[in-house]
């Protein structure tokens, strides 16, 4: 019991990732009636925000899951940081809804900053989570080769600067900030992901 494995942590984390992604749909809302067709086209920012957040959560989940496979034991601090990371992921439906409802409207800057800010926080916590486990192979499984750890390092390091840039872009163009976030989820992250050599 001194060095519990990662099973417990994975069950809870998997649940939170899948639920957070699926709750994103609850942020859509339209008034019913004659203009429904028009309104369904008008809410394109909500679709953009939904797709961006869903893909982002899916990829973060896969990175999380893959990285955990190199971790051989967990401690109190690691579990706590993992909890903070999940807290940020589970929070994402709220700023996603803000972007969906406010983009191209008067509140778009605040919405985009809240969205990008959440992603920055998530990237920082994911980095802390990994570095805590990896430093001096603190929690790394004996069987994990150093080359695999370096691959994870390379995949994780761009996260924080990338989302910090999105945060900066949001001051100038909220729409551009969301589009860049979408592009990261659709083009950059899949290619930088770890599942594939």
In the window 90-129, what residues touch its own copies (CB under 8 A)? 90-94, 98, 101-102, 105-107, 109-111, 113-114
- Of 21, 85, 102, nearest to 55 by C-alpha is 21
Binding map of its own copies across residues 7-26, x = CB under 8 A, - = no contact: -x--xx-xxxxxxxxxxxxx
Q: How far is the CB of 176 from its own copies (least distance, A)?
A: 18
Q: Which CB atom, from 101 or from 126, has the smaller least distance to its own copies?
A: 101
Please list, in sequence order, all residues whose beta carbon lies within 8 angstroms of the beta carbon of residue 101, skipping any fewer than 6 positions away.
Answer: 27, 29, 45, 46, 107, 111
Q: Token digits for 126?
A: 């994911």
Which pair of tokens denotes residue 79? Answer: 């579990």
83 forms part of the interface with its own copies (CB under 8 A): yes
- Residues 155 to 174: which contact its own copies by CB under 8 A? none
Q: Which is nearer to its own copies, 86 or 166 (CB)?
A: 86
Shortest approach of its own copies to residue 149 CB, angstroms? 12
Smallest distance, its own copies to C-beta of residue 40, A:
6
Non-local CB neighbours of 13 within 8 Å, separated by 6+ positions = 64, 65, 68, 82, 86
Least distance in angstroms from the C-beta of 123 to its own copies: 18
Q: Say if CB 6 and CB 68 are below 8 A apart.
A: yes
Helices 44-68 and 146-156 pack at an angle, to 10 degrees, of 160
């Amino acid at each position: 019991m001194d060095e519990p494995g990662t099973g417990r942590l994975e069950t809870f984390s998997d649940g939170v990732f899948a639920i957070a992604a699926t709750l994103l749909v609850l942020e859509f809302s339209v008034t019913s009636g004659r203009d429904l067709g028009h309104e369904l086209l008008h809410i394109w920012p909500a679709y953009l925000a939904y797709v961006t957040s869903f893909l982002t959560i899916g990829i973060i989940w896969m990175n999380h899951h893959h990285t955990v496979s190199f971790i051989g034991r967990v401690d109190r601090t690691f579990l706590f940081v993992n909890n903070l990371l999940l807290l940020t992921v589970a929070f994402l439906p709220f700023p996603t809804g803000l972007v969906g409802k406010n983009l191209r409207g008067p509140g778009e800057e605040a919405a985009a900053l809240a969205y990008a800010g959440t992603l920055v926080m998530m990237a920082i916590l994911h980095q802390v989570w990994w570095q805590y486990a990896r430093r001096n192979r603190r929690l790394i499984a004996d069987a994990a080769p150093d080359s695999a750890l370096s691959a994870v390092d390379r995949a994780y390091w761009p996260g924080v600067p990338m989302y910090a840039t999105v945060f900066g872009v949001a001051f100038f163009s909220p729409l551009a900030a969301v589009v860049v976030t979408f592009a990261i989820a659709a083009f950059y992250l899949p290619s930088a992901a770890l599942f594939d050599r």
